[in-house]
């Protein structure tokens, strides 16, 4: 089975304050934040529900600092809320589990 890859139509970089280590010795847990438009939210939902079987499967995210493939998995469904200053904008936060021994983007 091929591991799905983060869609190229979604942002490749979390927001600057976007990745925080939540910790444990065997895996890194990260929280990533994105500002998405309505089309991007639909793409994210389709990716999670379809390619990741409701978020239960891992996916590959390219580390923007090294270009290395990083194995990630959603810990639960992302929080998707409308932006107060943009009627077509959405704030998305995702709790991610990052594979052991793989360096993830951490600004």
From the number of C-beta atoms within 10 Å of its C-beta (0-12, 13-18, 19+), residue 39 rates as exposed
- In a domain? residue 19: no
- In a domain? residue 75: yes
The domain of 60 spans: 28-98
- In a domain? residue 72: yes
- In a domain? residue 70: yes
Rg of the chain on CA atoms, in Å:
13
The pLDDT value given to residue 107 = 42
pLDDT band at 17 (very low <50, low <70, confident <90, very high): low
- In a domain? residue 21: no
Sort strands 28-37 and 86-98 into parallel, antiparallel or unpaired: antiparallel
Cα atoms in the 13 Å half-sphere on the side-chain side of 37: 4
Distance between CA atoms of residues 42 and 60, nearest Å: 19
Total count of domains within the chain: 1
- In a domain? residue 48: yes
User: Per residue in 19-78, pLDDT tens?
Assistant: 544 444 456 788 888 999 999 999 999 999 999 999 889 998 877 667 778 888 999 999
């Amino acid at each position: 089975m091929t591991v799905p890859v983060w869609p190229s139509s979604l942002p490749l970089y979390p927001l600057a304050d976007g990745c925080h280590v939540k910790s444990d010795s065997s895996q890194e847990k990260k929280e990533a934040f994105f500002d998405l438009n309505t089309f991007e939210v639909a793409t994210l939902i389709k990716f999670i529900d379809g390619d990741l079987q409701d978020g239960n499967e891992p996916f590959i995210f390219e580390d923007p600092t090294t270009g290395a493939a990083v194995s990630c998995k959603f810990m639960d469904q992302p929080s998707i809320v409308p932006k107060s200053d943009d009627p077509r904008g959405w704030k998305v936060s995702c709790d991610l589990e990052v594979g052991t021994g793989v360096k993830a983007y951490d600004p």
